[in-house]
Structure 1
Amino acid sequence: MGDSQYSFSLTTFSPSGKLVQIEHALTAVGSGQTSLGIKVIPVIAAANGVVIATEKKLPSILVDETSVQKIQILTPNIGVVYSGMGPDSRVLVRKSRKQAEQYQRLYKEPIPVTQLVRETAAVMQEFTQSGGVRPFGVSLLVAGYDDKGPQLYQVDPSGSYFSWKASAMGKNVSNAKAFLEKRYTDDMELDDAVHTAILTLKEGVLTPAEIEDYLQEVE
């Protein structure tokens, strides 16, 4: 028996130990536009931070590009980029902003990056075990800065999350991660990280003209 007969059951494990609906959610992420992040903490005294980049393709030239936002601000010190289904990401962004606001009101200080990631991941995990819902078809790269310095986390539809020095998701993720592994160094500075992020997108995604437009937009 294969796993296909379990694909319509959200909470039943297949004989191979998988929740097949999560596999479908990861497929949705893999078909989404490429996004990546690079954390920068130079060994020597220099500017640090997190660089996030993504491909932004419009479904039609008639779409107003200002209405399509791949990178969202959760708090003044935390941002997020997604790959996968845009509507799912908006739900998670709204829930994350609400959680951050509740923390701010209660403790009178910004929510730590790790805690906001944990709360968001918990919401995603709940949607893998509840009736009447489905897993979120989106993965998130959460970039932020707090008392522990720059932070970069990837959160997947299963609710699993890890801290990364650099990571990528979406289309061509294998090539993108392989390229990042070759280019990433612990003494990388912000300018190098921006350059590496653009080259990573160029590796399998952007044309030279699109890269030129991206650089002009950044400047």
Structure 2
Amino acid sequence: MGDFALTTFSSSGKLNQIEYAQKAVENGETCVGIKVKDGVVLAVEKKLNSVLIDETSFRKIQHLGQHVGVSYAGIGPDFRVLNQKARKTVQKYWLQYREPVSVESLCRQTAATVQEFTQSGGVRPFGVSLLVAGLDEDGPHLYQLDPSGAYYGWKATAIGKNMKNAKTFLEKRYNPDNSIEDAINIALSTLKEGYQGTMDSTNVEIGYISRESKKFVVLTTEQIKDYLANIQ
């Protein structure tokens, strides 16, 4: 029963259900985030189960608000639930204060929801990790939220099945003074390093926010195609 008892610690001091949720993340497609002086970039693998699926109906990078975007590794439906909760947080803050919620505050409130599911009966932990990229009055931010409810700010990080190799690659390539263009190229190179098969504009997504635009933008397939041509 120990493995199924959500709120019972194992003899090693762990909650096994959290470990299983983290395994779901590690089996997910790789997602990379890079923060530079001018903004933040997210890049994620997007593999479809069938060639018959309309790829435009499936998005792994989403807007939470004009100034913040999110991607994930893990279970897609779990991401959808957290995505909707985070969007409500953004809208409630705007209606109350008439200004955008800070990225850190948004992540803290979302992480609190995730943490509740690690100690409540009748539910299970979310099998998903999030990378949140945003810009507020304190500058650009990149946060990672894990199934335990922990959240951290990062300069560059990766989640998903190839995260260890991706982080090693980022440690060698990361430079905080890089431009957004450089960060996009590095993010794609990081994904390509561990990609099984041929990477093209239909199986990868890229989003970014810059100090110049101040809006989170998801690139089109044509724009991604141009970037992929530069790293080949």
TM-score between both structures, scaled by the size of structure 2: 0.86
Name the structure where helix makes up a greater proportion of residues: 1
> Does 2:194 correspond to 1:198?
no
Distance 2:180 2:58 in 1: 26
Percent identical among aligned pairs is 57
> Does 2:82 correspond to 1:87?
no
* CA drift at 1:210: 1.8
> Does 2:49 correspond to 1:53?
no
Unaligned stretches of 5+ residues in structure 2: 205-220, 227-232
Contact 1:172 1:204 in 2 (8 A): yes
* CA drift at 1:191: 1.5
Q: 2:114 aligns with which of 120, 124, 132?
A: 124
- Pairwise mapping of residues 35-46 of structure 1 onto structure 2 (< 5 A)? 35-41=31-37
Which residue number in structure 2 is paired with residue 140 of structure 1?
130
The alignment of Structure 1 onto Structure 2 pairs a total of residues equal to 208
* CA drift at 1:217: 4.2
Give the SS at the match of 2:148.
Answer: coil
Q: Which amino acid aligns with 1:71?
A: I
> Does 2:20 correspond to 1:24?
yes
Q: 1:98 aligns with which of 84, 88, 97?
A: 88
1:128-167: CA deviation from partner (whole Å, max 9, x where unpaired): 0000000000000000000011100000000000000001
Contact 1:84 1:138 in 2 (8 A): yes
Unaligned stretches of 5+ residues in structure 1: 42-47
* CA drift at 1:91: 0.1
1:84-115: CA deviation from partner (whole Å, max 9, x where unpaired): 00000000000001111111111111111000
Which residue number in structure 2 is paired with residue 44 of structure 1?
none
* RMSD, aligned α-carbons: 1.4
Contact 1:202 1:211 in 2 (8 A): no
Q: Which piece of structure 1 moves more, 16-25 or 187-196?
A: 187-196
Q: 1:13 aligns with which of 9, 27, 36?
A: 9
Which residue number in structure 2 is paired with residue 115 of structure 1?
105
Q: Which amino acid aligns with 1:6?
A: G
Runs of 4+ in 1 over 3 A off after TM superposition: 211-217
* CA drift at 1:212: 6.2
* CA drift at 1:216: 3.5
TM-score between both structures, scaled by the size of structure 1: 0.91
* CA drift at 1:186: 2.3
Distance 1:91 1:107 in 2: 25
Which residue number in structure 1 is paired with residue 151 of structure 2?
161
Q: Which piece of structure 1 moves more, 182-191 or 24-33?
A: 182-191
Contact 1:124 1:135 in 2 (8 A): yes
- Pairwise mapping of residues 203-214 of structure 1 onto structure 2 (< 5 A)? 203-205=193-195, 207=197, 209-211=198-200
Distance 1:165 1:178 in 2: 13
